[in-house]
Chains A and B, each alone.
Chain A
């Protein structure tokens, strides 16, 4: 590639940056629940716009809905396409339930004609054997892989968990990662299992910066180490690194920085 071509590509990429940033939304708001004839939708308002955040699913879902009585930190990208459940869709989106109570966050809107939740695999009642309601051409449901015995050869491997803002809670999806790391460490007879936990900050669209509490990285590490030990990881191999420094937030990649890494070295 010639120097001119490279320059042209860089300029093109730079030209796209403001557009990408313009599509980024980071804000704190009360969630709003919109009932529908199927499952409820979760919405939020920011700067005069209503955004669609999530629908009710179940514990196996990739995205968990927010909670009334709590504000939610929304970090997402405006997705093309028509409104969903009366709101502008964000995809990808990261939702963090902020831990402190906010009793003002308590709005449930009734179902209205013309406002429908996206198709969901799990109805509002009990689960069903009926064919799941999914759009034509949609990929099959992502099911957690069955536990597999790790086989060699073993190499250095990282297992990563990203957290909700100011949270050390390990959801079902997260404990699966810790279990996989523990299984791999045992199978590989790991020399070291390094747990590196971070705290982070989030740059909101209005310029405000939210910073996680100082103890959160240590709490994240403590919970993961507890599970690793309980699942049989050699305690002598476990090393813990707490990273208290907060990387300057950019309003785009901030959710990725609320990170814990389990590095297994055979």
Chain B
């Protein structure tokens, strides 16, 4: 079958009412748009193009619940899950949208598109975390079974100390700020796991409909069991719908379950999905491959083999591809001391563990963890967090002091008093050992959706690689860093 990859800008002009596609800055689909979403799309990224494939064929957006506002704030699912941005969105896109709409787009809805709903919504500063880092406010109660207490130490966004929305309000909530995850490649992300989660030594959550265990791998804190429960929760929360029907939920899940996203071309690497190239690249590879394959091995690796790009050559494209192939090898084979990572070192593997990136990022095609993937890498917890010092004027995120009860099992590497910008999974499980643990994200379409990490702290792939280099004392050379950046950028 010949796959004709259609540039969305052409489609927008030629055949449909997709005015959003006429220029890069206008690739944003506003909730309530109508027109046919093509089955194959490409959108410019800073380093090339991201490809979006709908395996079910074109989709009419008009009246489709993924694209239609269902609630009072004029948002739809597409508001935060934009095809042009790898079914998420970038902070740069949010800034452009603010400029273009003067902050009136529903992305900036007070409920969670601002630092706090009680701040003046017309001011950019009230949306600083969304504009600077692409973060959405997630507000959660402290679990009733919590093994810890939480105090607010510092609160630049001023929501946790808000008399209306804060921890001491009539309806106490912890506000944390997280990047929206990409609503694509979901057969991998929702691949069912075993009944017992290896990392917990406890039962996995179950699908409330089928009763089967779920993978617990598709939200930052794994709080929702299935795409359906997530869609319901998001509709009632982010979208502020009064209700949502089962039919609407079914259509939302059906749509997002057939969306595949990956970088498809690179300005230096050329066509990434050409025949004979690395078999993992491009959205069609994502659609065709099977989920649930362990890639932490040297014969069928996480992103398969890049041997085709190792051949010597002198063109800039050859050299770039060789760099990508070296980056893939660094990812798979470059050993370092992996240490003090809760739910990796603490589950029987020992601390430290002399391994590679692929030990944790072991799921083929996505680079997530096949086991329920929440890990305290350190991005949110002091002292390894990604943030500036606590009392720095540059501090943007709230800081909490989490004090674990004497009866609780302590956090394995931080003990019973933990300073954190996001307690992560602990806000769901209530467990002290989970403070700061965040579910891994998939590695696909990264070029389209900076910044990175759940807290949006890495503005680009260089900052992401630098964090790992510091965190695990990898001592990567400049060449190795660039190889890793090039590798991650083509996924």
Q: Which of B238-246, B292-300, B317-325, B439-447 contacts A (4 or more CB under 8 A)?
A: B292-300
Chosen A-B contacts, 27 in total, with CB atoms closer than 8 Å, are A33-B352, A40-B354, A56-B350, A56-B353, A56-B354, A64-B349, A65-B349, A67-B346, A67-B412, A68-B340, A69-B340, A69-B351, A70-B412, A99-B410, A101-B410, A101-B414, A125-B356, A126-B356, A126-B359, A127-B296, A129-B299, A168-B409, A170-B201, A227-B202, A227-B203, A230-B195, A231-B203
A70 to chain B: which residues have CB within 8 Å? 351, 412
User: Is residue B407 contacting chain A, with contact meaning CB distance below 8 A?
Assistant: yes
Shortest Cβ distance from residue B158 to the other chain A in the assembled complex, whole angstroms: 33
**A101-B415, A175-B196, A226-B202 are known contacts. Are A126 and B410 too (CB-CB below 8 A)?**
no
A35 CB within 8 Å of chain B: yes
Asked if A89 CB lies within 8 Å of chain B CBs, one says no
Chain B contact residues, CB within 8 Å of chain A: 195-196, 198, 201-203, 296-299, 301, 332-333, 335, 337, 339-340, 345-356, 358-359, 407, 409-410, 412-415
Given A126-B356, A227-B196, do A68 and B348 touch, yes or no (CB 8 Å)? no
- The answer to the question of A248 belonging to the interface, with a C-beta cut-off of 8 Å to chain B, is no
Bound CA–CA A20/B407 (angstroms)? 37
Q: Report the minimum CB–CB distance from A248 to chain B (whole Å).
A: 26
Residues of B within 8 A of A66 (CB): 350-351
Please determine whether B203 and A230 come into contact, CB atoms closer than 8 angstroms: yes
| B415 with A100: CB separation less than 8 A | yes
Give CA–CA (A245, B276) in the complex, Å: 67
With A59-B347, A125-B332, A126-B298 already in contact, the answer to whether A231 and B198 are too (CB < 8 A) is: no
Does A133 have its Cβ within 8 Å of any Cβ on chain B? Answer: no
In the complex formed, the residue of B with least CB distance to A170 is: B201
> B337 — which chain A residues lie within 8 A by C-beta?
108
Report B-chain residues with C-beta under 8 Å of the C-beta of A125.
298, 332-333, 335, 355-356
Does A79 touch B at the CB level, under 8 Å? no
Question: What's the Cα separation between A99 and B198 when bound, in Å?
Answer: 19
Contact with B along A213-228 (1 / 0, CB 8 A): 0010000000100110
CB neighbours (8 Å) of A101 from chain B are 410, 413-415
Q: Does A21 lie at the interface of the complex (its beta carbon under 8 Å from any beta carbon of B)?
A: no
Among candidates A56, A61, A126, A172, residue contacting B297 with C-beta atoms closer than 8 Å: A126
Q: Is the CB of A124 within 8 A of B355?
A: yes
Contacts of B297 on A, CB cut-off 8 Å? 126-129
- Chain B residues with Cβ below 8 Å from A169 are 201, 409
Q: CB distance B201 to A56 under 8 Å?
A: no
Q: Which residue of A lies closest to B201 (CB)?
A: A170
With a CB–CB cut-off of 8 A, which chain B residues contact A170?
201-202
Per CB-CB distance, the 7 closest pairs between chain A and chain B, nearest first, are: A65-B350, A170-B201, A67-B351, A64-B348, A230-B203, A124-B354, A101-B415
Q: How far is the CA of A40 from the CA of B346 in the complex (A)?
A: 16
For the complex, what is the distance from the CA of A203 to the CA of B413, rounded to whole Å?
27
A39 at the interface (CB under 8 A from B): yes
Measured CA separation A204–B392 after assembly (Å): 48
Contacts of B202 in A (CB 8 A): 170, 223, 226-227
B349 contacts A58, C-beta separation under 8 Å: yes
- Bound complex: CA of A66 vs CA of B346, how far in Å? 9
Contacts of A108 in B (CB 8 A): 337, 352
Q: Is A186 located at the chain interface by the 8 A CB criterion?
A: no
A215 CA to B147 CA, complexed, in Å: 14
Whether B347 and A40, one on each chain, are in contact in the complex, defined by CB atoms closer than 8 angstroms, is no
The answer on a CB contact under 8 Å between A223 and B201 is yes
Question: Complex Cα distance A215/B414, Å?
Answer: 22
Cα-based distance from A170 to B346 in the complex (angstroms)? 12
Most buried by B among A56, A125, A178, A223: A125
Question: Which A residues lie within 8 Å of B296 (CB)?
Answer: 126-127
Assembled-state Cα–Cα distance A238/B405 (Å): 30
Q: Which residue of A lies closest to B358 (CB)?
A: A126
The complex places the Cα of A58 from the Cα of B358 at a distance, in Å, of: 14
When distances are taken between beta carbons in the complex, the residues of chain A under 8 Å from B203 are 226-227, 230-231
In the complex, besides A35-B354, A65-B349, 13 extra interface pairs with C-beta distance below 8 angstroms are A56-B349, A56-B354, A64-B350, A66-B350, A124-B335, A126-B358, A170-B202, A171-B347, A172-B201, A175-B196, A179-B196, A226-B202, A226-B203
**For the complex, is A42 an interface residue (Cβ under 8 Å from B)?**
yes
B345 near A67 (CB under 8 angstroms)?
A: yes
Among A56, A67, A100, A172, the residue within 8 A (CB) of B410 is A100
CA distance A33 to B332 in the complex (A): 23
In whole angstroms, what is the CA distance A58 to B347 when docked?
10
What chain B residues lie within 8 Å of A252 (beta carbons)? none
**Is A174 located at the chain interface by the 8 A CB criterion?**
yes
Q: Which residues of B contact A39 (CB under 8 A)?
A: 354
| Interface membership of A264, Cβ < 8 A | no
Please judge, given known A-B contacts A65-B350, A108-B337, A125-B298, whether A174 and B201 are in contact too, CB under 8 Å. Answer: yes
CA distance A101 to B412 in the complex (A): 7
- With a cutoff of 8 Å between Cβ atoms, the chain B residues found around residue A129 in the complex are 297-299
Given contacts A101-B410, A126-B332, A227-B202, contact A59 B348 (CB under 8 A): yes
Are A175 and B201 in contact, with the CB atoms below 8 A?
A: yes
Query: B203: nearest residue on chain A (CB-CB)?
Result: A230
A54 contacts partner chain B, Cβ-Cβ < 8 Å:
yes
Q: How far is the CA of A163 from the CA of B380 in the complex (A)?
A: 31
Q: In the complex, what residues of B have CB within 8 A of residue A33's CB?
A: 352
Task: For the complex, give the distance between the alpha carbons of A128 and B298 in Å.
Answer: 5
CB within 8 Å of B: which of A247-263? none
Nearest A residue to B408 via CB reads: A99
CB distance from A38 to the nearest CB of B (A): 9
